[in-house]
Amino acid sequence: MYESSNKILVIEDDNITRDLYLKGLKAKGFDTISADNGFAGIQQALECIPDLVICDITMPDMDGYSVLNTLRQDPLTAIIPFIFLTGSSNKADVRKAMELGADDYLTKPSTLDELLRAIAIRLEKQATLQYWWAKKFEKAPKSVFVDHTPSAIASEETSDEEATIPSKSIFPCIPQLKEVFDFIEAHYHQGITLCDVAVAVGYSPAYLTNRVARQTGETVNCWIVKRRMAGARFLLQNNNQTIEKIAKALGYQDVSHFSRQFRQHHGLPPQAWRKQHQLVSQK
């Protein structure tokens, strides 16, 4: 249900309780880090980026609610599963925790087994979500590319084969962003968005946007569109499909949206561009 390499941050001001949880988690193979107050907990979360946070609510100086609110506002820590520990079972307290974005809520005294079950459920849910998104794109139909290669490359006898759109990579060679660009390359024709890419690579949309923009000067959505435009140029130049079919093949639900984006990038609507470049290619 979880991997021994999962990193757990325990924020608890009571030394005995904190040490008990840390000892139990380590015995189960978790990589643990800890903090004895809210401020230190936030610093640890930002520096170490744990897979899950366990946090007491009642602490001096900064309570658990403030810790959670701070972590949810930061792109680095916004999607980390968060479990509250508290001595209160008041419904209003539980409601407040959930409204702030807590993933679970355990009342003290809670046993180590109860804590481990809560951790397992949260980590499994996170892993299932990422797996679901990955499978969604793996299974998405790619028949839009079948039988649409130029006649010089494929004939109708090859209709059972899946044809891909060849393309010189438009993506910069940045090792830290390889996973992002690989995902876009594999799924750009399936109508993906920034959120889909973020889920696939395990970052929040805000953090991923900032990271890609900082290293490339462009947003994730801009790279998706650029890859679709490269595919559009190939299809327009090498076959006689309708503009509507090409738009659908590239992940657009609305042909007008595709046409507007194409004109913005190329200065001509798709059909006019096709006529111009097909004539050029035939010379």
Domain span including residue 152: 140-282
CATH number of the domain residue 227 falls in: 1.10.10.60
pLDDT value for 227:
92
Weakest mean pLDDT among 24-38, 153-167, 213-227: 153-167
**CA gap 50, 27 in Å, rounded:** 18
Establish if 110 belongs to a structural domain: yes
- What are 112-152's pLDDT values in tens digits? 888 898 998 888 876 776 666 555 555 444 433 333 333 33
Q: Which residues pair with 33 in a beta bridge?
A: 9
Give yes or no for residue 271 having a pLDDT over 50. yes
Strands (E), 30-103: 31-35, 52-56, 82-86
Domain termination site, one of 130, 156, 191: 130
CATH number of the domain residue 46 falls in: 3.40.50.2300
163 pLDDT band, cuts 50/70/90, is very low
37 pLDDT band, cuts 50/70/90, is very high
Establish if 1 belongs to a structural domain: no
Tabulate helix, strand, coil % of the chain (nearest 5): 60, 10, 35
Give yes or no for residue 208 having a pLDDT over 90. no
What's the chain's average pLDDT?
Answer: 80
- 125 and 144 co-located in one domain: no
Q: At 128, list the tokens.
A: 């299932």
Q: At 115, list the tokens.
A: 């804590």
- 124 and 145 co-located in one domain: no
Establish if 148 belongs to a structural domain: yes
Give yes or no for residue 153 having a pLDDT over 80. no
pTM of the model: 0.49
